[in-house]
Amino acid sequence: MNDEIRCIGILTSGGDAPGMNACVRAAVRTALAQDLRVVGIRRGYEGLIEGDFVEMDGRSVSNIVQAGGTILKSARSPGMNDEHDTRIVGCPGTIDNDLFGTDDTIGYDTALNTAIDNIDRIRDTADAHDRLFLVEVMGRDAGFIALNSGIGGGAELVLIPETITQMSDIKDRIHSLMSAQSRSSIVVVAEGDEHGGATHIKEALQADDSFDNIDLRVCILGHTQRGGSPTARDRVLASRLGSAAIDALIEGHDTVMVGVVNKDIKLTPMRNVFGRKKNINYELLKLTQLLS
């Protein structure tokens, strides 16, 4: 079965995501169990081009399953093209959860819990001071974190890149919230929302006299969402995917991504991963409106 592969290289690329280390650990140990040589490639595709390699054994991945970041370091490498003479199997690692071919990406659950934890904390101050908080969460192209943290954090309004919300509608909604309910509200804004993020929305609201009496604040959660120890869910997902990636390589697959769809491991050609958009659940968007 494994008469072709003798050595595998492992790298982490793009933005780091909690659970990447658990994935690396699983891949290294699964490969070693198949008597493969394992080479770590540092700094993503930059390290591949520059030959920044490190030999890996079982002990080199000890004590990392609980660690955020990536021991192999990472980089964004726009210069890398599709030409290569090795087989490639990818694991989906991004907090944004915007990859087609997997229900959840590695790091998403941790980021979501971090966002909700922060929204809970912000709500204490919003309540105590009757303030409106615009909380910006990550998601350059997708609203998965915003939508789900909005529901989990009980946000009064959620703004995401997948839907267009007119500024006049945002203003009306905030006015009705701040007068009808308590005098505090939380609006969760994905950084990729069409209004340009929480700071721009705050400026647009402050330019309108009708907001003079509303105490508006912005909190940008930023990279706090990318760091930290992975949740149990992310550790298990990452371990399954890291191990499945090695199985896929040994079985002869190439240029595919391993994902988990409906609880099962699934392989998706890379061209589909990057060529198709993963849709948000519009039922959840309706739910935020119903519950706020």
Q: Enumerate the active-site residues.
A: 96
> Which of the ranges 53-61, 137-145, 247-255, 283-291 carries the binding residues for ligand F6P, by CB under 6 A?
137-145
- Of 94 and 268, the one with the shorter C-beta distance to ligand F6P is 94
Contacts of 224 (CB under 8 A, 6+ apart): 114, 118
E strand or H helix at 250, and its extent? Answer: helix 232-250
**Residue with tokens 């309706």, as numbered in its chain:** 286
Instruction: Give yes or no for residue 190 binding ligand F6P (CB under 6 A).
Output: no
Q: How far apart are the first and last CA of the chain?
A: 56
- Of 76 and 121, the one with the shorter C-beta distance to ligand F6P is 76
| Near ligand F6P by CB under 6 A: residue from 15, 18, 90, 153 | 15
Complete DSSP assignment for 34-66? TT-EEEEETTHHHHHHHT-EEEE-GGGGTT-TT
Q: How many CB atoms lie within 10 A of CB 189?
A: 30
Site for ligand F6P in 80-119 (CB under 6 A): 94-96
As measured in angstroms, the least distance from the Cβ of 95 to ligand F6P is 5
Cβ-closest position to ligand F6P: 15
- Of 17 and 260, the one with the shorter C-beta distance to ligand F6P is 17
Site string for ligand F6P, 222-251 (x = CB under 6 A): ----x-------------------------
**Residue with tokens 């940008």, as numbered in its chain:** 220
Which DSSP category does 223 fall into? G
- Of 224 and 255, the one with the shorter C-beta distance to ligand F6P is 224
As measured in angstroms, the least distance from the Cβ of 30 to ligand F6P is 25
SS3 state of residue 105? coil
Site for ligand F6P in 191-220 (CB under 6 A): 191
Contacts of 125 (CB under 8 A, 6+ apart): 131, 133
Contacts of 131 (CB under 8 A, 6+ apart): 125, 184, 215, 216, 217
Q: How many CB atoms lie within 10 A of CB 1?
A: 7
| Near ligand F6P by CB under 6 A: residue from 138, 177, 198, 218 | 138
| Near ligand F6P by CB under 6 A: residue from 84, 129, 140, 175 | 140
CA distance 38 to 48: 14
E strand or H helix at 89, and its extent? Answer: strand 89-90
The count of chain residues that interact with ligand F6P, using the rule CB under 6 A, is 10
Instruction: Give yes or no for residue 259 binding ligand F6P (CB under 6 A).
Output: no
Instruction: Give yes or no for residue 156 binding ligand F6P (CB under 6 A).
Output: no
Extract the tokens encoding 256. 């595919």
| Near ligand F6P by CB under 6 A: residue from 139, 153, 161, 230 | 139
**Residue with tokens 């080199």, as numbered in its chain:** 60
As measured in angstroms, the least distance from the Cβ of 48 to ligand F6P is 19
Interface contacts to ligand F6P, rule CB under 6 A: 15, 76, 94-96, 138-140, 191, 226
